[in-house]
Structure 1
Amino acid sequence: MRVSDNLIDMVYIRNLRNCSLEGPALDASGIPQLGYLDISWNQLTGRIPSGKLASNITTIDLSHNRLNGSIPGSFSGLPNLQRLSMDNNNLDGSVPSDVWQNIDFSGNRSLILDFHNNALTNLSNPLTPPANVTILLSGNPICTSQNQLNISQYCQSISVVVPGGSTNNNTLCPPCSTDLPYENILRSPISCLCAIPLYVDYRLKSPGFWDFVPYEAEFQYYLSSGLSLSSYQLEVSTFMWEEGPRLMNLKLFPNNTALFNSGEVLRLRDMFTGWLITDSDIFGPYELIDFIPGWYENVLPRRTKSSLSTGATVGIVIAAFAAAAILSSLITLIILRRRSSQISKRRIAKRIQMKIEGVKDLTFEELSKCTSNFSDSALIGQGGYGKVYRGVLADGTGAAVKRTQQGSLQGSEEFFTEIELLSRLHHRNLVSLVGYCDEDNEQMLVYEYMPNGTLRDHLSAKAKEALSFPMRLRIALGSSRGILYLHTEADPPIYHRDIKTSNILLDSKFVAKVADFGLSRLAPLPEMEGVAPGHVSTVVKGTPGYLDPEYFLTHNLTDKSDVYSLGVVFLELLTGMQPISHGKNLVREVVTANQSGMILPVVDTRMGPCPWECVERFAALGLRCCRDETDARPSMTEVVRELEMIWQMALETDSVPLELESESVSMDPSRTGTQLSSSSA
């Protein structure tokens, strides 16, 4: 397989695993930043390409294919390599003896070379790897001469692991000693090694996928790398992948020994409790439920007992309280004097309490300066809430400043409650709140700035460049993931109730981010019996053309109200038409076209070539979301799952993201008489 231009900037290639690919192996030598390559469990044939791979690559997995020929020398000298898996192929010739050259094995670095179940017959040179290198050769003809070649330690049998299953190289190991809570390290390069683990209860708050199994190995690599551990030291013991919480129990094992030292236990604890593990675009932010030292509780440093007498201790405590009271009084007096001319005492108390991590408390003067005194040249939007200005904060951060008009001012308590709620919402597909201002009868919210504007701008007939179908599909998927997060991950859950293309913003890479929660409504919380009402009764708010008909008639807002609005957005993406234009209703127009078998003429021809099967399923999903009956609409979970399947179909059409070369919908006259099946639409 030749490297397409669209793969040149790839860092991880993981979605080609277990995809029934045939033909020659991918030549990845032309991908300069590649760090992870997994094309295992396919039917690839022929020789392995001999081109030199990127120096920062850590993992190469070509296992479980039908590759033949010798192992090329280009795998030697890769300084960051941690795993080279070529097992279960038809490779012959020599076992390489210099793959570990140029690798620094200081600290916890290790290297696994898995060549088992091939046809390797000899050594290029005697095998003298460093202690941190594991070589697996079982199932090769060379192991029939293991004693003469002194390679018996590399020819021990190991178990075979199916994709997505638990790895266990120690199924035949004897039980560990029971005098201490030892466990087998399932993937240890040292056979049958027993050790005492640490336990971590961990939660992914908003991962960018639905099914965890295909991503389990990559998650282990991501988290172990973030903790500076070898991948075998981390085991996902159990996971619960349900709507809402994604909980998992992790085990951390020491490196090639039975016990952690106390310093390493403290380091790992601080990594989790200090939130020092970098968030991933794939796995999203995490939440630490519990860090359980277990047996290591006994070896952690304890506080030394004070040698002071009881009387001395009491005296110190009383003196400390007195000093603290005096100091507190002085500080309070100074603060009151400095601010009395600007803010009331009640506002001072509120500001002292309102210290939210990650959200800046900005002054009116700061925001006026960053927006050129709220000049018209900085105005980028206007709505019922007020005007939105583009600005640059003092630290150089681009920002969108939403200034409330006088009639929309909230009470201070209500305003701070909204800020506290918005500050807890963290998702790749939601616009982030970065600051606020509540001063001198001014209330402003400050959000991250989105340089590519709104989705509405790019669907307009005046847009300079039309969005391709892959970009529209990716925007639909990103927006849906953001809404799903609001419904299932936000605490408390939130119904947006004003989803529309002008509230979907696009960052510099055209990643979709849902915006404007000013009209949002908290979803109903469970009652004492644990059952939540199905709706919220509310005054109807929203935008004509996007409103759920049942919400409009009954005033009952549900999660399916957001689904309806999002369905209208999908139909806009499909057709390029506005929800209401020249007396025509978009939903009614598309439904009529589908019922008459004429769906093709309403598809936006500006999208260019696109795979019809994907267009068909996307149209069907949009129509399902826009059903009049609430119960007939899919849930947001089902919407995201269907979009992920359509996206995967689009990728498989041309095996590359964002540019799908397939039949053009505008050039297939046989489609003009096609109607989407009633079961799907």
Structure 2
Amino acid sequence: MEQQDSVFFLLLLFLLFQVMLVAAQTSSQDFSGLQSLTQSWTNKPPNWVGTDPCGSNWDGITCTNSRITQLRLSGLTLVGQLSSAIESLSELDTVDLSYNTGLTGTIPKEIGNLTKLKSLALVGCGFYGPIPDSIGSLKQLTFLALNSNRFNGSIPHSIGNLSNINWLDLSDNQLGGPIPVSDDRGQLGLDLLLKAQHFHMGDNKLSGQIPSKLFNSSMILVHVLFYGNQLVGTIPSSLSLVSTVEVVRFDKNGLTGGVPSNFNKLGQLSELYLSDNNFNGSLPDLSGMNSLTYVDMSNNSFTSSDYIPSWVTSLEVLTTVILEDNQLGGTFNISNGYSTSLQLINLQNNAITDYKPGNQKINFEVILSGNPFCLENGVSQQSYCQVVTAIPSYSTPANNCSAQTCSNSQISSPNCKCAYPYTGSLISRALSISIFNTTDYQDIEKSLLASFRAQNLPVDSVSLSNPTKNSSNDNFQFTLSVFPYQIDRFNRSGVSQIAFVLSNQIYKAPEFFSPYFFIGDDYGYYGGEPKKSSSIHTGVIVGVVLAVVAFLVLAVLAGMYAISQKRRAQRMKEQNPFVNWEQNKDNGIAPQLKGARWFSFDELRRYSNNFAEANTIGTGGYGQVYQGVLPTGELVAIKRAAKQSMQGAAEFKTEIELLSRVHHKNLVSLVGFCFEKGEQMLVYEYIPNGTLMDSLTGKSGIWMDWIRRLKVTLGSAKGLTYLHELANPPIIHRDIKSGNILLDSHLNAKVADFGLSKLLADSDVGHVTTQVKGTMGYLDPEYYMTTQLTEKSDVYSFGVLMLELVTARRPIEQGKFIVREVNRIMDTSKDLYNLHSILDPTIIKETKPKGLEKFVELALRCVKEHAHDRPSMADVVKEVEHIIELVGLNPNSESASTSEAYDVEKGGDIIHPYGKEDFNYSGLFPSSKVEPL
């Protein structure tokens, strides 16, 4: 009876707080600001009901500590305007409204008050008017994409104040006037953006000359794209000072003169587009530009006397040269040889009078149609005198299945499933795909699918179709269709997350297709969403009435509740093993251990934003792990056990006691625990760079070179050695695997997850007989057969982990066991022990990794069939230290690698799509709301 009274009382209190007009988990300021911002919007997500966006997990809304920090609303067919109320959401760090063509109007100047904003993406909307000067106040901004709108006016000088900007995309608008640069009067300009790697300014109305001051040697630009403007004058020689440039596009302007003589100093330049200008004089000397793959200088007035420059056929990686519609004359002579990389030389519509291919077979396409030489009798029918053919059609074929006949406007996916795909145009700003084959299309499809799945998005397959070339800017584009996983349509969350990957350049396209951008279509087939409830005002009225009733009975129930709690506490004292723990002298109620703090359920719920899906950083058979923030600002990981996987109270207490007394830099530290309201939760230190498995599979974006792998091996081994030899009594982990090795902000390894660990209390026996548990592939076969667990069981698992580190393959992959495969192909008489076919290409890409053979030998000793043949973990530490010394490093150094570190925190830095770029996406990609594949 007392228990029923208690439950009834709590339900009434819960009801009372739920009807409050200001949500318990959402800041009143933020809720009011969001309400004002979206008041005039239509087509808002159906689950935007109530007054608690943070607690109710509204689609596209991400919160941190009750404050709204992200608006990720791309691709949701929203209609309305961006009002000045956005300044009320002062904690915003990310705003993405891309692919909502119904969002129009101007950008309010108040957006400059969002001083914490790091990413602003408004791609493919209907915005117009000038870009406000106040945008220069966003000093934390690293990503700014305003392309494919109708913005006009000039580029604000204040953009020069965005000192942290990396990606600047203003293309495909109606921006005019000169390119802004700084001056002696304190005026700002683009030349001050020293961290920018991307100037995307094409398809606008920019005019005047390209300022010489625009470029300087302190810049790290990779893409310089100013095509399709109204620029005049010459290309400034200062461009050659930016040694990092890889793609230059000045095509479709009114530029004159010649190409600067120092242009060949751009040693990293891969693609050069200067077509459709008024350049004249001799062709530039591009010899020595050994990274150059694609050159287009067509539709100019370049001249030559009686030869084509030698660089046309001699540059080693050059694939395409397009020089059509110029004034090139004389003889085209390639009898002296050519690069094997060449695919196309297009000299159409020039003044060439002779062609000498030599005696060798030409393995690339030559186009000379429209030249005097091709008008001669007997020559005009030659293949090189024919007009260029159109782009071949392409559509993704079915994946070993028969395409379905679908109804209701559904489409058969590559996996032959009828569904409503999310579609749009995937557009390349690189024109180097003029010679495109099936393999290239497949590479794009594979990389797209891998990118979506790496973010745990509900994607089954992707397809490409309708390849076309835009006549106005020569960009190549395809129709991209993304098909849903297991169901026939996406919900709004799925669409917005797919759109976010593309709008924020999370997807890393193959080099030949980069840089790219995406314009999403409206999606009209949303599914899996709740229906809108009745008016919120009616609910509030009913709630207030109920609240009044609740207060009337509150006094009576409070007494009943106090009595029942007293009796219940007495019963719990008799049953709960936790009550005998030492009491906290500060408040006298919370059980404590040294190094482990007791948390209440309500505290952890508050710290994890009500266990929001957006805070989920891991999941498994045990339950889920959430990121939390303590009042001190410390980040923690909260492991919440699922009901079906909870231990008994005594076992849970034992695990906490075990964890609270192990302290080592290579072990994840226990911060505290919660045992309340039927919950079992452990609170660990937060480890930002995820699991070793994520890094080996490429999911985290961390580049694992050979030295990093050695350091991770050493750190993990030291952590295990501590458990085996220094803990008292010794501890056997019992579940060593790549998923239980975490990497901190410096990529130091930390052993985690002690849920299966066992104490080796009796040192005389040396083992403990227990039920077999662990992970298949890592499991010690001797332990599996005898049920006798020893430290050497961990050694076996560690040996499998070492083989995983050198191969980047799962222990059991496609039915093949990694230990058996290594033993099968290993030959110690050959280089790298004949393991080339199974080693991870990342670590043998450039040079032979020192010590790899010794590393493999050690791993195979660890996985010996009999435990007594395996080394101890202390011996493993010594041998790995010796291997690191062979590499030439100090094994006790804290450095993660001799190579440049690209540390990627979850929800933190993400390696940028274009290779060497270190791109700060801090907080842009919280855990997905959809179920992982």
Superposed pair shares fold, TM > 0.5? no
User: Which protein, 1 or 2, shows the higher relative CO under an 8 Å CA cutoff with sep ≥ 6?
Assistant: 2
Whichever structure has more helix as a proportion of its residues is 1
Name the TM-score, length of structure 2 as normaliser. Answer: 0.33
TM-score normalised according to structure 1 size? 0.45
